[in-house]
Structure 1
Amino acid sequence: MDRDEARKMKEQLAAFARELAEKHGVVATPRSVGAQTMAHAADVVRAPTLALGLVPQAEGGFGIAVRYRLGIPRARSIVRKVSAEIGPDADIRRTGRIRPVSELGPRPPAPTSQADGDTDRRRPLRPGISIGHVGVTAGTLGAFVTRASPVDRDGHLYALSNYHVLAGSPEARPGDIVLQPGPADGGLAPGDRIGELTQVVDLDTVEPSFTDAAIARLDRVPVDFEYPVGRVVKTARALGGEVVGKVGRTTAITRGRVTAIELDDVIVGYEDLGALNFDDQIEIESLDDGPFSRGGDSGALVYREDGVALGLLFAGSESGGRSGKGLTYANPIDQVLDILGVELAREPTHPFG
């Protein structure tokens, strides 16, 4: 199938899956079953219990990615029927419970080198180091950005990461302190302040979300713009099959492959907000011996080997996928930048405005 045909089939299958979910009595949205369930909302699986997207095929064109969570018997029944509708173009994978990567798995002790992650205090700031809202644990500084619109351009430099890294809760407000390293890594001293929360993309608890993102305006702090692949200033839409990398607070430099794009109905369990639905997401599987991401890697920039940015890492599972190492999910970077009204910083000569 070409992309348009695959997209049309995906839409039809999504409607079919919802009908099957209702017929089989799969769990409804947690908001409809009372406050007691909301307390455990991160463990609730919402109908249709499976995500659908596009997967590139070796001979060209696209198939349909079908992803469902392990341990949900009724989901398997729905997947079988959906897959029968797709036929040989179905790419079926099981996932573990998907959570924000800041909540994923135990955090290792502070590493001694960037090859093992980076939780230390770093000046100049650089991509891949520990960062966090004063009331959060720790995540990853993904990129440096500037205001894109001529009307809003203010000459200041901002740090880009996830909402759940730079804000962490609905109670967070612009002006809140952002630390490097994040609080979980000891960043509580006065000298650890690097800026303040400026803007967040609110996560919708009813309608599908597209990004988990926020920016913090930086103080006068020295900055190093280099990634392991050099400067990253260009962006592109993921097409599937790309070999990608990231540098993160916990697992440092890792390599993976984009295994699905345009995934809809990706259910991510947040501790405070419950089970949220994300559309148009990128899926990545590790090419290394270990996982592509783990707890603390939230907010890392995902880039191709040629240094073109594709996504903002935000969620993952500890199990599932063909390797069993889990899967990582990223927001398309162009969508993140567009919603926030920013662009990747291109001019390192005036980082403080």
Structure 2
Amino acid sequence: MDSLLRIVERAKWRILGRKNVVGVGVGYKEVGLRRTEQPSIIVFVSKKEAPENLSREELVPFKINGVETDVVEIGEVRLLDSERTKLVRPAQPGLSIGHYKVSAGTFGAVVKDRHTGEPLILSNNHILANATNGRDGRAAVGDPILQPGEYDGGTRQDRIATLVRFIPLQKGEAPATCPVANAFIRWANMVVQTIRPNYNLRIFKREGSSNVVDCAVARPVRADIITDEIYGVGKVQGKTIARPGMPVFKSGRTTGLTRGVVTAVGATMEVKLDNENTAYFSDQVVTDMKSQGGDSGSLVLTEGNRAVGLLFAGSDKVTIFNHIQTVLDKLEVDL
């Protein structure tokens, strides 16, 4: 790689001067959806254009000093400032939003109700409905939705919508209420504490089946207060099914525009809801795309701005999203 780095250092300014080129570096060439082990000079462009639309001086050469190039479209590169966390009208997907009791998440997309045709705001249950299971009083239809979210300074005066529909989130386990189980645990604790006085056993019961989505929709206070153009991305151009190896990207409140590759589908995951509760999610999609807290609710897309999922969870290494068609069918909405 050292020799390639020296080549790039010598050639970078004449490459950067070409149309749409926003960066140049060293990496491994991608062929189709597969990253190969062939070292190449990566030329980052804001937008790919057909060769016939470019002059000879604007074309990226196939090779530089005998090393193959790989042109990668990444859009416009900008500072990750606080624009996404500000009050914006009309508000657009990719910006901060949240239930009035929630810190902040991401406005995912504008969808249409299948029955009324009205535009609705799509995000996660845990962003628009406070992670409710529908029986716990954490949220109710009609609750105010703020843009920006409360963590980003949103107040009741910044109400942009009202909660209209959500899919309940089922926790993975709950304290046991069975009298027989509780009698057993009292006896077990007496035995254990004769040996380990500081230990206390508890029994939990598993609740319901796995979740398949974390989603909700809200009705904007008026139609012109939102736009369907995703911040830094543009309009959604249809949808498709996530497949292993598929390149994906999202526009989120916290980490902005990030990209990755689908690493697994059909996954069942245990997800931590808070310090005390977990939930199981089945038929999920796992990707190496970067995300952080506050990116939840982001629409996940692939080439051609086609929607593939709704981001809801992740770790330091992976990001997890629901299949978009499942989300739309559960909520009875369309893109």
- Between the aligned residues of both structures, percent identity stands at 42
Q: Greater strand share, 1 or 2?
A: 2
Equivalent residue letter for 1:187:
G
Going from structure 1 to structure 2, the CA distance change for 1:169 and 1:229 (only over 3 Å counts) comes to: closer
Going from structure 1 to structure 2, the CA distance change for 1:241 and 1:169 (only over 3 Å counts) comes to: closer
For residues 154-208 of structure 1, the C-alpha deviation after alignment (integer angstroms, 9 at most, x for no partner) is 2321100000000114320000000000000000141x11110011101123210
Q: Does 1:173 align with 2:140?
A: yes
Q: Is the 8 A contact 1:169 1:272 kept in 2?
A: no
Q: Is the 8 A contact 1:240 1:261 kept in 2?
A: yes
2:249 matched to which residue of 1? 245
Equivalent residue letter for 1:174:
V
Q: 2:309 aligns with which of 308, 311, 321?
A: 311
Q: RCO higher in 1 or 2 (8 Å CA, sep ≥ 6)?
A: 1
Counterpart CA distance in 2 for 1:210 and 1:338 is 12
Q: Is the 8 A contact 2:285 2:323 kept in 1?
A: yes
1:121 matched to which residue of 2? 87
Counterpart CA distance in 1 for 2:163 and 2:234 is 27
Q: Is the 8 A contact 1:117 1:249 kept in 2?
A: no
Counterpart CA distance in 2 for 1:117 and 1:254 is 16
Q: Is the 8 A contact 1:211 1:336 kept in 2?
A: yes
Alignment coverage as a number of residue pairs: 218
Q: CA deviation at 1:225?
A: 1.9
Q: CA deviation at 1:147?
A: 1.1
1:155 matched to which residue of 2? 117
Equivalent residue letter for 1:143:
A
SS at match of 2:244: coil
2:283 matched to which residue of 1? 280
Equivalent residue letter for 1:203:
L
Q: Is the 8 A contact 1:116 1:252 kept in 2?
A: no
Q: Which residues of 2 match residues 135-284 of structure 1 at below 5 A?
A: 135-148=101-114, 152=115, 154-170=116-132, 171=137, 172-190=139-157, 192-205=158-171, 206=207, 207-220=209-222, 221-227=224-230, 228-264=232-268, 266-271=269-274, 274-284=277-287
Q: CA deviation at 1:146?
A: 0.8
Counterpart CA distance in 2 for 1:203 and 1:180 is 23
2:318 matched to which residue of 1? 327
Q: Does 1:300 align with 2:298?
A: yes
Counterpart CA distance in 1 for 2:300 and 2:105 is 15
Moved more, 231-240 or 125-134: 231-240
SS at match of 2:334: strand
SS at match of 1:168: coil
SS at match of 1:309: strand
SS at match of 1:230: coil
Q: Is the 8 A contact 1:117 1:252 kept in 2?
A: no
Q: CA deviation at 1:222?
A: 2.8
Equivalent residue letter for 1:134:
Y
Equivalent residue letter for 1:166:
L
Counterpart CA distance in 2 for 1:213 and 1:240 is 23
Counterpart CA distance in 2 for 1:114 and 1:161 is 22
Q: CA deviation at 1:114?
A: 5.6
SS at match of 2:89: coil
Superposition TM-score, scaled by structure 1 size: 0.59
Counterpart CA distance in 1 for 2:276 and 2:93 is 28
Question: Which consecutive unaligned segments of at least 5 residues does structure 2 have?
Answer: 1-32, 35-77, 172-206
Q: CA deviation at 1:296?
A: 0.3
1:336 matched to which residue of 2? 327
Q: Is the 8 A contact 1:132 1:183 kept in 2?
A: yes
Equivalent residue letter for 1:157:
P
Q: Which residues of 2 match residues 9-48 of structure 1 at below 5 A?
A: none
Going from structure 1 to structure 2, the CA distance change for 1:238 and 1:156 (only over 3 Å counts) comes to: same
Q: Is the 8 A contact 2:105 2:149 kept in 1?
A: yes
For residues 18-64 of structure 1, the C-alpha deviation after alignment (integer angstroms, 9 at most, x for no partner) is xxxxxxxxxxxxxxxxxxxxxxxxxxxxxxxxxxxxxxx97xxxxxx
Runs of 4+ deviating beyond 6 Å: none
Q: Is the 8 A contact 2:100 2:156 kept in 1?
A: no
Q: Is the 8 A contact 1:117 1:251 kept in 2?
A: no
Q: CA deviation at 1:243?
A: 1.0
Equivalent residue letter for 1:254:
T
SS at match of 1:125: coil
Q: Is the 8 A contact 1:117 1:248 kept in 2?
A: no
Q: CA deviation at 1:230?
A: 2.6
**Which is greater in Rg?**
2
SS at match of 2:226: coil
Q: CA deviation at 1:233?
A: 4.0
Counterpart CA distance in 2 for 1:332 and 1:224 is 23
Counterpart CA distance in 2 for 1:157 and 1:337 is 13
